[in-house]
Chain A
């Protein structure tokens, strides 16, 4: 686990890196000898602490995509809204996109701050049963850039999982940044003992996106993370005036459907482009309640039903093993 002691220098490779204690940055670090001895390569005790913390969380779902800007945060936000529309369901939404947190804005929580309580950080509540946590709540201004290398991002993710007072939760939705790097490895590793129900993969129809998404699927296979299914977002645009459909992001290689057939994965559904989705996100509202009878909202609802079904049948054993690096 790439982890950085608070007194480590800026370029600390992380205590569990092969380079721990050996890089030029390690010269003069008070932890150099410990790191070089390999003593810290034992499993991170935080994994066990997180397992205990997560015993009050029934289902954990990751929202992933190799590609950026395909709608991960939009989907995460709407999945959370939809699940929380049932008053008896407790939902938590965790944003682990450390450098580009979009969730606060999409949930209408921009400018909110996290409070410290006796039992940890309190998440910010949209409704009584919908809690949100994001690094956005820890920044003092919307211009603040989080210019962090991997180890610091990992430390933050660990804190989000271990130190946030989530309470009793039915669904924990984790929104991720694009790629297959620090954040993804960390969230999977930290939740390895607690168990993850599975990942929802988002793509857009064109090959430039699918080629990155295939890598993300490969990542899931490598870390043995089950895939709940794939969602094709921005799938066609219906002109509000003439009602003709245009393929703005053309599925030149058969889109998500062909990819799912080839990789034997369920296609959960397709969501068309609708200018009102982006607008709702900018205003921090739920598109599903703003325009409930639109084709896009109906597509969302059908996908969300499938995810709920999946979770009610999934029996996580909590043994996602990660032996990368």
Chain B
């Protein structure tokens, strides 16, 4: 179908933002795993990585640094699988040197995000996940401003259990309210660590903060994902964790969250 005349998101059924006020809580991890889970359940998925200063998704999906091609409809996204079910766009693909710092102030970041939203030829997608940097600033405002023309289903908020993180996520909830973004649910990441030697569970970053926050703010609690060295290692190597460890409790946690989210989106 010729999409050049129309917006690049016209054939995208659902757009979901992955947000968190706090850095390093697992936004990119959750984005990646949700995308993989959606794909395993037969959906076509796209990931737009708008973390311009610290793009992590290309590594987590081990797509390397392919060149981004142009077609009539815009930039062709990079596919993480041969079946082309998982499409990805990130600033990581546009950098010559992976260690180069993107030392940009807001206006420049906003301009690139505008292009990312309008010029990527996603084609047909069931879900587009938008991975964001921490905070409530330029990137978030710009991505929303640009997505407004289309449709945003809502946001998944990621937090770790400790109060220092849920505090930042409360601010993100305020951001969602002020900008009229529906909160699809809260995910608690890094929730408890089970020692592989003795099976003792240690709550390294406390426990239950995500669920509490969901209650406090009247949001849906989607579930908690434990700290799992196998998950961190898989993301380091860009391996599909869900395919590699279907027996683990982390697998169950992630697929349950993905299922709930998907059925909420598609209902």
Contact = CB atoms under 8 A, between A and B. Distances in A.
Interface string A215-250: 111110011000000000000010111101011111
A105 B164 CA distance: 7
A242 B171 contact: no
A173 interface: no
B79 interface: no
Nearest to B108: A325
Interface in A62-109: 66-70, 73, 98-100, 102, 105-106
B248 interface: no
Given A179-B133, A246-B229, A185 B23 contact: no
Interface string B145-183: 000000000000000101111011011111100110000
B56 interface: yes
Given A143-B171, A146-B171, A14 B105 contact: yes
B232 A249 contact: yes
B96 interface: no
B136 A99 contact: yes
A48 interface: no
B218 interface: no
A282 B212 CA distance: 15
Contact of A324 (B60, B99, B103, B196): B103
A153 B98 CA distance: 28
A181 interface: yes
B185 interface: no
A214 interface: yes
B99 A215 contact: yes
B168 to A, nearest CB: 4
Range, interface on chain A = 35 or more
B24 interface: yes
Range, interface on chain B = 35 or more
Interface stretch (A52-60, A160-168, A190-198, A271-279): A271-279
B54 A149 contact: no
A66 B54 CA distance: 7
Contacts of A43: none
B24 A70 contact: yes
Which of A23, A240, A246 has the most CB atoms of chain B within a 10 A radius of its CB? A246
B100 A218 contact: yes
Contacts of A310: none
Interface stretch (A116-124, A205-213, A287-295): A205-213
A67 B137 CA distance: 16
B244 interface: no
Contacts of A150: 105-107, 137-138
B135 interface: yes
B54 A179 contact: yes
Contacts of A279: 162, 206
Contacts of A253: 236
Interface string B91-105: 000000011111111
Contact of B24 (A147, A178, A184, A274): A178
B204 interface: yes
Contacts of A21: none
A35 interface: no
A241 B233 contact: no
B195 A241 contact: yes
A271 B110 CA distance: 37
A113 interface: no
Given A150-B105, A324-B103, A246 B197 contact: yes
B204 A278 contact: yes
Given A143-B173, A252-B233, A148 B178 contact: no
Which of B105, B107, B175, B203 has the most CB atoms of chain A within a 10 A radius of its CB? B105
B53 interface: yes
Given A143-B171, A150-B137, A281-B162, A246 B107 contact: no
B22 A144 contact: no
A145 interface: yes
Given A100-B171, A145-B171, A279-B206, A180 B21 contact: no
A14 to B, nearest CB: 7
B215 to A, nearest CB: 15
B137 A178 contact: no
A247 B229 contact: yes
A278 B23 contact: no
B253 interface: no
A19 interface: yes
A269 interface: no
B98 to A, nearest CB: 7
A178 B135 CA distance: 9
A269 B237 CA distance: 25
A211 B168 contact: no
List the 10 closest pairs (A to B, CB-CB), nearest first. A68-B23, A69-B24, A150-B106, A99-B135, A179-B53, A242-B198, A212-B54, A145-B174, A241-B200, A239-B195
16 contacts: A14-B107, A68-B54, A69-B25, A100-B135, A106-B164, A147-B178, A178-B133, A179-B133, A208-B56, A208-B235, A215-B102, A237-B202, A239-B197, A246-B195, A275-B206, A278-B206
Given A142-B170, A150-B105, A181-B102, 16 more contacts: A147-B178, A147-B179, A150-B106, A179-B54, A180-B101, A180-B104, A181-B104, A208-B60, A211-B59, A212-B54, A217-B99, A222-B101, A241-B200, A252-B237, A278-B205, A325-B105
